[in-house]
């Protein structure tokens, strides 16, 4: 801020050495980091004209108010989701916040009053209130808006020219409007016509202010074609409409304001002096907002670093001379407290709250519990219904004498009805059994139920996964947020061409889902039946904006909202999203590689390429139409293909034909996933095959109104899609989103089953032998029994065996399809398998005559498909929180060659599969049996291209604590690498208190890696780190665990960190390269480290000191105690340091080798445990 000898810049020259009301200079009293200041700068400030409040708006659309000179936060609310706040104006009812495209009015407590936006508001910049109901809005646009706040309407639009209006100031005779080119227009307040114009600066206008009849401006001048800050403040007398003597400043002025309480004095603000005066800590921060209170006792500055600086001339400044009282939140009444076992203090010392007569009490029962309900009548005995004779509306039947006289039994059957086995037919399949608790009971087989994981004190590390997975195939942990997609990830993993493409993919993009899926697939390939944690993939998935926009991100903070989510619809949307996302990412990487190889030809100017610059006579000359290079077009199409489109892509031709003029528009596209379209409005046909529905879904035809360019209006248009190629793998979404579609699927199943039963009854008389049931003796393992074909009774045995249930042995969904593509048509035929042929007919497996005739004409492509994977939505009606998704996959022999063909087939579950199907894949034979070559995506370049990249904004090298590997130090198989990692907590552990008083873990805490350190294990630089990376995180950290990790708040934030901060991906690829190189990792507790990092390392490459120095059936020993006992080192005194821990683990391994060579390792371990028991496993102090 510029001061002259008297302390302030005088407009009319220094008339006096002292200014009344100013006793000393302004000093800084408060510096506050505004809400969102770590991400957005403060771009708008305004002192409230009615209350003791200071209002702030930042570049993220957030508004916050602070009370009085103590800067106590008063209110805080979001005005816009993304646009910055351009100006804040206080009115009597509240505040007005202006963004680029909207105007928001809110009361001071934060409640919105109205939001106005229109097509006239494109780039708003400023506003000015002329009266209590009239407001002017302007900006970088050619219209000035006259807005009526009482009716919230735009009453007038005034043309201000292309340059627009970026500043508005009030005068008693004019409305002063400044444009960016340095001109100030003085307009009539009533009609807003230009009365006078002042050309202030030759370059641009930076700021101006008005006091009385003086107008002072600052800006930029154009000198030799460049803009430079003008050191002179231009002063104009509005009475004479001419300039007076300008004021020279010693600094470059950017903002200026008159002191409201002092006449003929003003302040001039510049960036350089603000930095010196405010002592802004953030480097590169500049002043973005500036305002002065009406009493001139306080000044506020906002900078790009998100801070608000308050300067005042008095110790306790006031913002307004006569401010009204600000309404604060009611104080919570405090009552005297007393011990729970104090029987002498009367309870009346805590008064009851005064409640009005019209307000409900907390003890009142809700209305839905106060309705009179009647006991449901028991079901009528079947014997009565059988023998009843109807006479008119009244039925008569003899008393079966099954109940006592004048007594009605309300206890429904519990054993007989549930244990009965009835024949499934289309007539009785929907009849509800009279069960007390099972009217909606569905017996879900054990293998499809949602598993409740019970953890012990060791958490997920000691969970017996092998009891629930006897296939030898790897699985995925499902306890992380958004892990609903695990079933579809498994389906993608067992698609060999896709797995090979993702394992060969690597790019430099931080959050690339294709890269993360490739990393996850590598984990599954090396897991050897153990479950893997998809944390890194889900972390990247949460950062993709498209996934959030599609509603695919589920918040873990609102479990009650998760119960209302339709997982079936969600997984279908995820299927479409992931295929499109992988296609885009792989195609982008492919184009970047090709751009690096292609050498572009030099540009040659041709006049025919720019016809707009030719004269009018030359335009009339006919330009020869260049010949279409078909080979070049085909090459361009191939460039737009990725491995995903080559595998899943179905090329389509969209044809839109106007039914009036015949104008046709054709467009090509690629379909990655097909959504089934069910027939509507066709009552004449009630039986459909799945092939018919799939044909209509792949080649839909419809007539709908659409815009015709030739007719110039909306006309009836025929829209059709014609297939041009068939995919290798067909991805289908069932789209069962409503009851009508489920009923259609069910009706088709009923018709198939009815035909089968009818054909069986005609061929073979029904046997009177009752169906075999399980033994009446209960199984000793109960519902936890996992033995196949168990002879004893279980609670889920009421479901009949598949051989007796026609709904399980006959399905509307075929296992095999044959698709024949013609030039303008598609024919899909079900291919019968041996099993279904015996059940339905004895005709050989062949296509129908109609299909054979169709195939004979213009066949383009023919492919046979087999059902390879199904994703089912399992929903228990009585337990909505137990819904889950299950994948049924036909595992190719490449993944598990030792299992037979029978076990590889896709299973059909025994409970209403038609209601469970959501997505399924059909694959051709070449996909099922192909073995694609996998190109290693990682090389030693990961240590040079990504290894040293620091994303911290400070950019200093002071945080580098490691020496990178040289070319001669590249890892080789068997090299020792000491490693340690530190973690932070993203959410707290969920636990419950059991009846025995012990805590049971329901959901373990979610950890995120914060620091990874790797140390050389041999050579001249043994013990020197070559990786010591802090991992940046964009998620909210609940606990930094500083005592155990050494991570301080701000270390993982790129805006404030002074460490060597990198992305998780850049460090992960280095660890993967070390693992692939065959090095041996040495550390303490590496099993948990690798699990959280999402890395599966073979056991022969891991040396864990926690197991080296351990006796069976004894406790594990901490690294701190081991280092003190064997090495005489005291580590982890205050906090943990991963470099120190890794060195200690390496030295302990060397010590173990020495003891092993001497043959004294057994006695050393016994001595260790004896010493630990004496010291209670605590390292003694000095």
Nearest to residue 530, comparing CAs of 625, 586, 465? Answer: 465
CA neighbor of 74 nearest in space, from 99, 35, 109: 109
d(CA 865, CA 855): 17
**Is 364 flagged in the annotation as binding?**
no
Candidates 909, 972, 989; CA nearest to 1101 is 972
> What's the CA gap between 93 and 135, in Å, rounded?
14
Instruction: Enter the tokens of residue 12.
Output: 């009319």
Query: Is 35 labelled a binding residue?
Result: no
What is the rounded distance in angstroms from the CA atom of residue 502 to the CA atom of residue 946?
Answer: 20
- Ranges assigned E (strand) in 244-315: 247-248, 255-258, 265-269, 287-292, 298-303, 307-312
> Nearest 5°: CA angle at 48, between 42 and 50?
170
Strands 394-396 vs 1080-1083: parallel, antiparallel or unpaired: unpaired
1141 is in an annotated binding site: yes
Task: Give the neighbor-by-neighbor strand order of the sheet with 650-658.
Answer: 664-671, 650-658, 713-723, 701-708
DSSP-assigned letter for residue 1006: E
User: CA-CA distances (angstroms) from residue 631 to 464, 626, 646, 666?
Assistant: 59, 14, 19, 20
- Using CA atoms, how far apart are residues 733 and 675, in angstroms rounded to an integer? 5
CA distances (Å), 615 to each of 605, 610, 611, 621, 623, in order?
Answer: 17, 11, 9, 11, 14
3-state secondary structure 903-952: HHCCCCCCCCHHHCEEEEEEEEHHHHHCCCCCCCCCCCCHHHHHCCCCCC
How far apart CA 469 and CA 472 sit, in angstroms, is 7
Q: 706, 731, 719, 629: which is closest to 667 by C-alpha?
A: 719
Compute the distance between CA of residue 386 and CA of residue 214 in angstroms, rounded to an integer.
Answer: 105
d(CA 414, CA 284): 77
**Alpha carbon distance 343, 356 (integer Å):** 31
3-state secondary structure of 582: helix
CA distance 995 to 630: 77
230 is in an annotated binding site: no
Q: What residues contact 658, with CB distance under 8 A and at least 6 apart?
A: 664, 708, 710, 711, 715, 716, 717
Separation of alpha carbons 244 and 266, rounded Å: 16
- Per the annotation, binding residues for a divalent metal cation are 980, 982, 1089, 1141
- Per the annotation, binding residues are 980, 982, 1089, 1141
């Amino acid at each position: 801020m510029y001061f002259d000898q008297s302390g302030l810049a005088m407009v009319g020259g220094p008339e006096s050495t002292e200014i009344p009301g100013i006793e000393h200079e302004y000093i800084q009293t408060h510096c506050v980091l505004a809400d969102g200041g770590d991400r957005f700068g403060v771009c708008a400030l305004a002192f409230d004209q009615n209350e003791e409040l200071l209002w702030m708006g930042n570049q993220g659309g957030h508004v916050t108010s602070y009370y009085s000179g103590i800067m106590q936060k008063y209110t805080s609310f979001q005005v816009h989701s993304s646009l910055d706040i351009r100006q804040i104006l206080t009115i009597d009812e509240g505040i007005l916040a202006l963004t680029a495209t909207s105007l928001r009015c809110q009361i001071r407590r934060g409640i919105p009053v109205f939001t106005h936006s229109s097509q006239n508001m494109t780039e708003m910049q400023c506003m000015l209130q002329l009266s209590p109901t009239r407001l002017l809005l302007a900006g970088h646009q050619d219209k000035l808006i006259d807005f009526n706040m009482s009716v919230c309407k735009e009453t007038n639009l005034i043309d201000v020219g292309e340059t627009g209006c970026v500043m508005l100031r009030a005068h008693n005779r004019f409305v002063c409007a400044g444009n960016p080119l340095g001109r100030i227009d003085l307009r009539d307040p009533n009609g807003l016509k230009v009365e006078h114009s002042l050309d202030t600066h030759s370059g641009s206008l930076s700021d101006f202010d008005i006091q009385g009849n003086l107008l002072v401006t600052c800006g930029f001048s154009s000198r030799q074609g460049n803009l430079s800050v003008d050191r002179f403040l231009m002063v104009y007398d509005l009475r004479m409409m001419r300039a007076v003597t300008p004021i020279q400043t010693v600094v470059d002025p950017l903002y200026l304001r008159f002191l409201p309480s002092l006449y003929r004095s003003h302040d001039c603000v510049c960036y350089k002096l603000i930095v010196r005066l405010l002592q802004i800590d953030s480097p590169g921060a500049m002043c973005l907002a500036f305002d002065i209170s009406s009493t001139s006792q306080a000044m506020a500055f906002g900078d790009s670093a998100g801070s608000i600086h308050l300067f005042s001339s008095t110790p306790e400044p006031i913002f307004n001379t006569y401010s009204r009282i600000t309404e604060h939140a009611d104080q919570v009444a405090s009552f005297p407290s007393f011990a729970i076992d104090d029987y002498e203090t009367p309870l009346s010392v805590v008064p009851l709250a005064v409640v009005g007569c019209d307000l409900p009490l907390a003890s009142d029962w809700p209305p839905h519990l106060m309705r009179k309900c009647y006991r449901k009548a028991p079901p009528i005995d079947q014997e009565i219904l059988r023998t009843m004779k109807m006479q008119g509306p009244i039925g008569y039947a003899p008393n079966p004498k099954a109940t006592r006289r004048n007594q009605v039994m309300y206890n429904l059957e519990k054993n007989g009805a549930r244990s009965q086995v009835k024949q499934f037919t289309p007539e009785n399949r929907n009849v509800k059994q009279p069960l007390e608790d099972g009217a909606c009971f569905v017996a879900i087989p054990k293998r499809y139920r949602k598993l409740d994981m019970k953890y012990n004190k060791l958490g997920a590390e000691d969970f017996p996964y092998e009891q629930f997975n006897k296939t030898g195939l790897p699985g995925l942990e499902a306890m992380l947020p958004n892990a609903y997609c695990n079933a579809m990830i498994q389906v993608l993993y067992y698609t060999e061409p896709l797995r090979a493409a993702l394992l060969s993919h690597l790019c430099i993009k931080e959050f690339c889902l294709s890269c993360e899926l490739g990393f996850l697939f590598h984990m599954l390939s090396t897991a050897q039946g153990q479950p893997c944690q998809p944390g890194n993939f889900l972390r990247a998935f949460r950062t993709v904006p498209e996934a959030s926009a599609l509603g695919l991100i589920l918040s873990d903070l609102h479990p009650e909202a998760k119960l209302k989510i339709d997982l079936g619809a969600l997984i279908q949307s995820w299927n479409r999203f992931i295929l499109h996302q992988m296609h885009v990412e792989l195609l982008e990487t492919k184009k970047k590689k090709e751009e690096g190889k292609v050498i572009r030809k030099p540009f040659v100017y041709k006049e025919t390429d720019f016809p707009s610059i030719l004269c009018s006579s030359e335009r009339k000359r006919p330009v020869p139409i260049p010949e279409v290079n078909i080979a070049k077009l085909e090459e361009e199409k191939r460039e737009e293909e990725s491995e995903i489109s080559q595998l899943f892509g179905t090329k389509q031709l969209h044809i839109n034909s106007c039914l009036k003029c015949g104008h046709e528009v054709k467009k090509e596209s690629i379909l990655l996933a097909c959504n089934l379209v069910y027939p509507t409005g066709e009552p004449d046909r009630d039986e459909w095959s799945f092939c018919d529905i799939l044909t209509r879904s792949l080649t839909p035809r419809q007539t709908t109104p659409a815009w015709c360019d030739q007719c110039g209006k909306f006309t009836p248009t025929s829209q059709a899609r014609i297939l041009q190629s068939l995919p290798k793998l067909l991805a289908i979404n069932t789209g069962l989103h409503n009851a009508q579609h489920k009923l259609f699927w069910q009706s088709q199943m009923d018709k198939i089953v009815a035909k089968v039963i009818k054909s069986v009854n005609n061929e073979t008389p029904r046997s009177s032998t009752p169906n075999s049931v399980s033994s009446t003796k209960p199984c000793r393992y109960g519902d936890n029994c996992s033995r196949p074909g168990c002879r004893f009774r279980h609670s889920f045995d009421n479901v009949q065996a598949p051989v007796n249930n026609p709904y399980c042995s006959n399905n509307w969904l075929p296992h095999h399809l044959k698709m024949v593509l013609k030039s303008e048509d598609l024919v899909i035929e079900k291919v019968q398998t041996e099993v279904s042929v015996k059940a339905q007919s004895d005709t050989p497996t062949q296509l129908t005559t109609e299909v054979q005739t169709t195939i004979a004409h213009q066949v383009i492509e023919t492919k046979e498909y087999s059902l390879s994977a199904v994703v089912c939505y399992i929903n228990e009606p009585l337990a909505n929180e137990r819904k889950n998704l299950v994948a049924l996959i036909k595992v190719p022999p490449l993944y598990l060659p030792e299992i037979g063909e029978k076990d590889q087939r896709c299973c059909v579950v025994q409970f209403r599969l038609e209601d469970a199907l959501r997505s399924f894949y059909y694959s051709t034979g070449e996909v099922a049996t192909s073995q694609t070559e996998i190109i290693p995506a990682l090389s030693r370049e990961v240590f040079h291209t990504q290894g040293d990249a620091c994303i911290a904004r400070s950019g200093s090298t002071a945080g580098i604590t490691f020496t990178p590997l040289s070319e001669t130090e590249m890892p080789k198989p068997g090299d020792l690498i000491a490693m340690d990692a530190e973690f932070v907590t993203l959410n707290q552990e969920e636990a419950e208190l059991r009846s025995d008083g012990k805590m049971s873990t329901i959901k373990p805490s979610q950890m995120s890696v914060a620091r990874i350190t790797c140390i050389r294990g041999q050579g001249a630089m043994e013990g020197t780190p070559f990786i010591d990376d802090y991992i940046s995180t964009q998620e909210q950290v609940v606990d930094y665990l500083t005592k155990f990790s050494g991570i301080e708040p701000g270390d993982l934030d790129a805006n404030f960190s002074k460490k060597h901060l990198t992305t998780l991906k850049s460090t992960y690829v280095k660890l993967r390269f070390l693992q692939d190189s065959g090095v041996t990792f040495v550390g303490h507790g590496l099993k948990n480290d690798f699990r959280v990092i999402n890395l599966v390392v073979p056991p022969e490459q891991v040396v864990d000191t926690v197991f080296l120095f351990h006796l069976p059936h004894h406790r594990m020993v901490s690294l701190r105690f081991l280092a003190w006992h064997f090495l005489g080192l005291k580590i982890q005194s205050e906090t943990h340091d991963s470099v120190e821990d890794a060195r200690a683990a390496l030295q302990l391994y060397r010590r173990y080798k020495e003891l092993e060579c001497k043959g004294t390792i057994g006695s050393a371990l016994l001595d260790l445990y004896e010493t630990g028991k004496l010291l209670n496993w605590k390292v003694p102090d000095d």
